[in-house]
Chains A and B, each alone.
Chain A
Amino acid sequence: MTHSAWHIRLQTFLTSVRRMFAHKPKALVGTLAGSLVVGSCARNASQDTWQPKGPNAEIIDNLQQPIFAVAGIVGLIVAAAVVYCVIKFKDRGQPIPEQTHGKPALEITLTIIPALILAVVAVFTFGVIFKLAKTDDTEMIINVTGQQWWWEYDYPVQTELGIVQPIITSGQLVMPVGTKVLLRITSRDVIHSYWIPALNGKRDAVPGRVQTLRLEADEPGIYAGQCTEFCGLSHANMRMETIALSKEDFATWVANQQSKYVAPAEETLAKQGESVFLNQCVRCHQVNGLTRADGTPAIAAPDESVWSGAAPNLTHLMSRNTFAGAMFDLVSKQCRDEVWHATSDVFGAKYLAGVKEECLNQKDLRAWLRNAPAVKPMYSNPTQLEATGGKYRGMPYLALSEDDINKLVAYLLTLK
């Protein structure tokens, strides 16, 4: 839509709204208040800060509820006082009362009371800050790296947890329930911020710095979040999900992530897809274990064409059910609902089933391969690359034929 078209639409809309309320200021107030109330009523909002699902978020919640109450009461008192004064001392033509300056007793009281309230709040707040900053009780570490516009997760070797070689994935962070996980967060390009409201507060991802964030989930399930530091064009599409699995399910997930690469069988569509992948995609995307025709390992070099120096590792693409910064589902709506709404006892099994062919969200995946920047705003047009020395921010348009896309989809489906 062109600029002017937007403009006209907006104006028409505003005019009609104005007309609606022109003679009914009460209606306006009512509507505003109504939408506020309705907006706060969403029961199953997945990013609701008032519904903690783990001890860290609980600590925050226990602090924020009473403070919110105190602030609410103070707010009400102030509002009531203002309204009282406005009505009581309305100008009815009465003479202006005698003007005085200074009233020490009153001023001191009005300074001390808020100071006391703030002091009490501060004591509890500091307690919470220190609790949330603890790192010495960590049971598991996950490195989190942000870049425009997706998150990468890598799991350092932790033999007690069955991680004997580093695991790398993106979009969905998978962790065991009831485990004190410590995220070590950094960034490859600009500042991002990691936030899973149900599990903890926010933590900035700053290039060159490693900042920690505790995460622990009580129940298996999916916990959604999104980047909360404006980071450029597709900031709004930089989402993430945390998947909590029971300890057994997590062990299964870990084992699968470390499984060896299995090349597709000869003479299949997938095998042809593998060679398209080697030609078109491997310069950015790593698939661990993938070899070239001459047997040498295919090592991606995203640093040569992507500004952040990274592109998602696709080795086990089909083990996650979102892609492109969790902006798109990798599974169809129906299959997705089955996972999201699964009860916690069967959730793990549903999630671990991965993406089967009949569940694949063909539409979005194909649209992505056909022309990624058309479905997620990214800098890939050569004229936009001056500032980054010719490097892309995001995945570029690759001008693939439909034939190649068919092959690629068949191949990607083998990356379990």
Chain B
Amino acid sequence: MFSAGFKYFIGLTLLSVVALIMSIVVLDQVALAGTALSMLIVASALLTGLLVVTRDGDTQRPQSASTSEVPGQSMWPLVASIGAVFLVVGLVTSSVVFFGGVVVLIAALAEWMVQSWSERASSDAGYNSVVRKRLLNPIEFPVLAALGLGVVIFSFSRIMLSVDRSTGASLFIVFGALVIIGGTLFAIKPDIKRSLGAAICVFGALGIVAGGIAGSSFGLREELVKARSEGHFSHPECGAERSKYFDKNATGTLSLRSSINATIEFVNGQLTARVVGFSKPQKSITVPRSTPTNIIFRNLETDEFRLVADLGEKSDTGTYGDTEKILVCTQMTVAGGEQELTLQIEKPSSSGYSYNLTVAGVEGQRIEVVVP
């Protein structure tokens, strides 16, 4: 039913659309390539259309002359016009609406085109619908599935952001367990009614979406709200800990464990460095210049402490040649906890400044950072 020529040109059209999108994403300047690819798209789409209209000499099936002249009902003109409205509204409001409109318009036109084409494919309505499905289902199903999954996942993430941490963990376990149990049931009882399976999935998804809507109207959980207002991920100063909401239990989130430069241990009031290759604890670590270097602070005391890295001074921009200390620190680390710290030092130790690691509030303990 689809002639080789049709397949060739539809493929060419799709390929050049992909190429155009890629070139926009990848290249800085698309002027020439963009023009060429757009022309290619127009030309091959035109040829594809022609082949569709002329049916490319397909004589296997009765021609459209003998098919019923009354087109079936179609929702696509309606969808296309909605898309067009979005497109126009988007022009004056936001680009998201505009591109949404473009996508809806293109999708609707494509569906519309294929539908009307398939209705004239033969006089057999059943066959026509098979033709339509064969062409469009491979595209429709994955796209709809991705959209549906996206909505479910997004809703789930809204739920997780609004409940507190331990509830979040339990929810995760419960959901995971439900999915496994459901999957197992379907696997061992494949003769379960399809409609039952579908109903469970649909209701589950609807439940999550409803939860997501509720969650986002509920707002973020308290720590996240605080952390956001306090700049959780920047350390503007190394003074007193500003908030009890900082994550002090980073231990569980260190992924660098095996490939760090050194582990700085604070135990019995002593600060020492464990460096791979040195069997004894060290009082200094050597860090190559201008190199991002990860260290771990391990607090084996019974109190909370934080590690402070004194990385020299930078001259103020003021007129008096003042200098300002460069300090970097970990967050407060609970007893037995670990925190990671990344150092990068541009000037060698021979520039006359000694770089040090100390523990805030503890006198007389330091690890020297040597930069060759």
Contacts and interface: CB of A to CB of B under 8 A. Distances in A.
A154 B293 CA distance: 15
Given A157-B286, A302-B290, A141 B278 contact: yes
Nearest to B286: A156
B291 A168 contact: no
A279 B273 CA distance: 40
A303 B289 CA distance: 9
A210 B292 CA distance: 10
Contacts of B289: 303, 309-310
A205 B294 CA distance: 14
Given A138-B279, A186-B291, A301-B346, A209 B259 contact: yes
B276 A135 contact: yes
A255 to B, nearest CB: 17
Interface in A253-308: 286, 288, 297, 299, 301-303, 308
Contacts of A141: 275, 277-278
A44 to B, nearest CB: 33
5 contacts: A141-B277, A155-B372, A156-B284, A187-B291, A207-B291
Nearest to B285: A156
Contacts of B286: 143, 154, 156-157, 166
A248 to B, nearest CB: 24
A209 B288 CA distance: 12
Interface in A299-355: 299, 301-303, 308-310, 313
B350 interface: yes
Contacts of B31: none
A212 interface: yes
Contacts of B350: 288, 297, 299
Contact of A145 (B260, B291, B370): B291
B361 interface: no
| Interface-centre pick from B261, B290, B349 (highest chain A CB count, 10 A) | B290
A186 B288 contact: yes
Nearest to A168: B372
A392 to B, nearest CB: 14
Interface of A: 135-136, 138, 141, 143, 145, 152, 154-157, 166-168, 182, 184, 186-188, 206-212, 286, 288, 297, 299, 301-303, 308-310, 313
Interface residues of B, number: 28
Contacts of A309: 289-291, 346
Contacts of A182: 276-277
B351 interface: yes
A299 B349 CA distance: 10
A360 to B, nearest CB: 26
Contacts of B346: 301, 303, 309
A209 B372 CA distance: 18
Contacts of A143: 286, 288
Contacts, number: 91
B352 interface: yes
B347 interface: yes
B357 to A, nearest CB: 15
A138 B277 contact: yes
A166 B348 CA distance: 11
A399 B277 CA distance: 45
Interface string B262-296: 00000000000001111100001010111111100
Contact of B276 (A187, A210, A286, A301): A210
B22 interface: no
Contact of B351 (A157, A188, A299): A299
Contacts of A286: 348
Nearest to A139: B277
Q: Name the residue in A154, A288, A297 with the highest tally of chain B Cβ atoms < 10 Å from its Cβ.
A: A154
Contacts of A145: 288, 291
Nearest to B289: A310
Given A186-B293, A303-B290, 19 more contacts: A135-B277, A143-B286, A184-B261, A184-B276, A184-B277, A186-B288, A188-B288, A207-B292, A208-B256, A208-B292, A208-B294, A209-B256, A209-B260, A210-B260, A210-B276, A211-B259, A299-B347, A309-B291, A310-B290
B370 A156 contact: yes
A187 B293 CA distance: 10
Nearest to A313: B372
A264 to B, nearest CB: 20
Contacts of B292: 207-208
